[in-house]
Structure formats: structure tokens, C-alpha cells
Amino acid sequence: MITNLASGRTVAGEPTALQKTDVLAHDVFAGRADGYDRSAAFPTEDFDDLFAAGLLGAAVPRPYGGLGFGPQQRNTLPLWEMTTRLAEADLSLARCWEGHANSLVLIDALGNEQQQRRWFEGVVERGEIWVAWSGEPQAPKPGEVRTFGTTVAAAEGGWILNGTKAFATSATGARWAILLVDPAGPGGARHSASGAADGLLMLACDLTDPSLSVDTSWWDPVGMRGTASHVVRFDDTFIPHDQLIGEPGSYLAGHWQSAFVPHYAASFLGAAEAAYRYALGYLEHQGKTGDPHVQQRVGSMAVNVDTARLWLRHVAALWDEGRIGEARIAGSRARHVIEHLAEETLHHCIRACGARSLVRPAPVERILRDLTFYQRHDNDDHILASVGRAALGLAHDPSFHKP
């Protein structure tokens, strides 16, 4: 039996993965979030605890010692629910977690048997953390002198990489990164100018390689600070052939990003759940629950959270039933609607509770900063246009929602 100290709930028998996640998130991770945020440090201790609890391999197939969660295993909802629970405690932790879990889904889908054996064992036995890095924004912001981008050259037995990637989540915590790189030129997958469909490579990079360096001076953002999404530099980094995942072009041809778009929404839901839960306690404590405006705001929050949960359940079921075409566009719809539900829920919380809900140690100000920044991961205008194009029967991009 385990007891959740925050909720007081006790759970009989062997706890499920979700129950273990719940306890860790509420009793341990939530208390560490402020420290990681202030120091912009990767949540190392949280990942240590996830590993110790047997949760790090959630997206590793069962034959390899994992829990067999995720869209590739047609067991999607448990993974997304874990992510929501982690996001309730700390959105930065959830982003690092998603990057890890999504990488394992890709290895499961596209890795060969030898790669799966090697890398899944590293996760399950040794606690190795993964992430996937594409980010090479090409359009400089005003005053930005630094440029981002990688070049990839074929070499004997593999490839040589040079250049930089930005937004390299978990840069100081992960052991492996799947690098999405384009031999046709800089831009990765998201910012590719070439279209990259034929040639984009997924190269597994050992982040202990001495040719890599992490520039921590760039990462001073408004939120998501604990993701440690630094700039990483590659100086003649050699990646051997046997660390190529899938065929060149398979990431975009298989629309793999579309499996991860609703996973971001699972994190946004965690932000909404955290704000809702906080507001309930706050309003009860202040004796304001009799106010009709408060009641309306709480009603909206309750409906928003339920709506977001139902959307995720719907999309997860489509993945699990193998209705992949429908799952892809439903994932974009869910990503769009849950972004707005989460944002609105947070604002209801702030309006109902008042100014002191935005004063530390209340978590609401951190959630506001984190959610504001996290949502920039994809552009909601482009997502909605993509949903519209699909509804009109026009060509659309369910991965990066490019016009």
C-alpha cells in the first residue's frame, strides 16, 4: 500500500505506473520544481527517482524490460497520462520526459533489433536519458548575431557533423540525443529550407563525445528554465553508420512528429490540472466558494479539464485502433484546443484567486511563465490552418504545420 501525502489517498496492492508517478509527482517533484526553475537546472534528481521507481522505460516495449506504453505499442493513454501527472508538478520536467519518451517511441518504430537491444537496455538497466534535437532556427531575431545550423558530411563509416543546435532540451542531463539533421543544409527537420523529406537523417549521438560542447550562456528564458534547452555545438562529431535510425527521410515520410504533437497537449493539460487544483484549495481556504463569480470560474475550469482529458482519450484511442490518418489530424485538433483550454483555466485561476496566487511560493506564476513559453513550441495559428486545410481536403502538414 502507498499513500499520497498531498491528496491523502491510499492505494491498495501493487501500485500501477500511474499511481507511482502520481505519488512521486505530488510528494517529491512538485517540491523541487522551484529550485530547478530558479537555477535553470536539468531535473536530475527527478529522473533518478523515475529510474529507481522503474518508470524510465515507460515507452520501452515489454520484451525489452519496459512498460510498453506509447503510440507505437498501441498503448498510448498511459504514457500521456504519466506526462500529464509530471506536468502538474513541473512543466519543465514534463518536457524533458516527453523528449525522452518520444525518442524511445522512434527507436521502437524505426530502430533495428541490434539498436533496440543496445539502447533500451541502457534505459532500463542504467537509467540512460534520451532526447531528440531538431531545432536550428534560421531566421535571426533582431540584434541576434549568433546563427544556428548544422552541416553533415558523409565520411568513412559514418558522418561528420559541425555547427550548432538551439533549444537542445536536456542538454546537460541526457546521455543520448537523436539528431535530426539534413545533409542538404542547415535547418534540421522543423526549419529545413530544402524540404528535406528525402534526406533527413536521424543520428543517435552519444552526448559524452568530447567533440560536443554545451553553451549555457544563451538559455535565459521566461519559463521552462529547468529544461536546460541550451545551445549545443558539434565540432567534427563523428556518428557511425550503425547509429543511423531508420532510412534517410523516414521521420518526415512517416509523419512521426504527428505522434508527438498531442503529447505536448498532455503537458498543457497538466498545467491546467495544477491551476485548477490550486484554485480549489485556495478558494476553500479563503472561504470564497459562496461567491457566484468564483463558482462560474471554477465551473469553467472543471469543464475545461474534463474536455482536455476527453480529447486526449479520443486521440489515444485512434492511435491504439490503428486509425493513424485520423489520429494525426485529431492530434493537431487536440493540440490546438487543449492549448486554449489550459491557458483559459490558468486565467480563471488567477482571476478567482487574486494577486497573491502570483506570489511565490505559489506555483501559479511559474506555471504562467512555463505555459506561455512552452506553447511556442508550435505555432497555434499554423496548427489551426493545418486543421482547416485538412477539413477542406487540401494538402496539409500534420508534423510541423507548414503553410
Ligand X SMILES: Cc1cc2nc3c(=O)[nH]c(=O)nc-3n(C[C@H](O)[C@H](O)[C@H](O)COP(=O)(O)OP(=O)(O)OC[C@H]3O[C@@H](n4cnc5c(N)ncnc54)[C@H](O)[C@@H]3O)c2cc1C
Please report, as ranges, the residues that interact with ligand X according to CB under 6 A. Answer: 95, 99, 131-135, 137, 139, 167, 169, 190-191, 224, 227, 229, 373-374, 376-377, 379, 382
d(CA 158, CA 200): 15
Decide whether 21 or 103 has the Cβ nearer to ligand X.
Answer: 103
CB of 1 to ligand X, least distance (A): 37
Sign of the Cα pseudo-torsion (139, 168, 95, 245, in order):
positive
Residue 201 host element (H or E): strand 201-206
CA nearest neighbour of 108 among 136, 80, 141, 74: 74
User: Minimal distance in Å, beta carbon 376 to ligand X?
Assistant: 5
In angstroms, the CA 91 to CA 25 distance is 11
Judged by CB, which is closer to ligand X: 21, or 134?
134
Q: Look up residue 131 and give its amino acid.
A: V
DSSP string, 341-396: HHHHHHHHHHHHH-GGGGSTTSTHHHHHHHHHHHGGGS-HHHHHHHHHHHHTT---
Judged by beta carbon, residue 377 or residue 389, the one nearer ligand X is 377
Residue in the structure block whose three cell numbers are 518526415: 252
Quote the least distance from Cβ 138 to ligand X, whole Å.
Answer: 7
Least distance from C-beta 242 to ligand X, angstroms? 23
The phi and psi torsions of 226 (rounded to 5 degrees) equal -70, -5
| Complex with ligand X: residue 131 or 305, whichever CB lies closer | 131
SS3 24: helix
CA-to-CA dists, residue 207 to 107, 210, 292, angstroms: 17, 8, 55
Smallest separation (angstroms) from ligand X to the CB of 300? 27
Strand, coil or helix: what is 172?
coil
Helices (H), 179-242: none
Q: Which is nearer to ligand X, 119 or 148 (CB)?
A: 148
In angstroms, the Cα distances linking 142 to 39, 145, 167, 197, 258 are 27, 9, 18, 30, 31
d(CA 200, CA 188): 8
Nearer of residues 68 and 137 to ligand X, judged by Cβ: 137
Give 148 or 276: the residue with its C-beta nearer to ligand X: 148
Q: How far is the CB of 142 from ligand X (least distance, A)?
A: 12
Smallest gap from residue 103 Cβ to ligand X (A): 10
CB of 133 to ligand X, least distance (A): 5
Three cell numbers, residue 367: 506555471
Closest CB to ligand X among 293 and 376?
A: 376
Q: In the complex, what is the shortest distance from the CB of residue 129 to ligand X, in angstroms, rounded to a whole number?
A: 12
Residue in the block written with cell 490540472: 273
Beta carbon of residue 87, minimum distance to ligand X (angstroms, whole number)? 12
Shortest distance, position 62 Cβ to ligand X, whole Å? 27
Cα distance between residue 200 and residue 183, in whole Å: 7
Residue 16: Cβ within 10 Å count:
12
- Report the residue number, 78 or 99, with the smaller CB distance to ligand X: 99
Separation between Cα atoms, residue 13 and residue 10, nearest integer Å: 10
Question: Nearer to ligand X by C-beta: 283 or 368?
Answer: 368
Q: Check residue 75 and report its DSSP letter.
A: B
Query: Rounded to 5 degrees, what angle do the CA atoms 43, 48, 51 make?
Result: 125
Nearer to ligand X, 85 or 95 (CB): 95
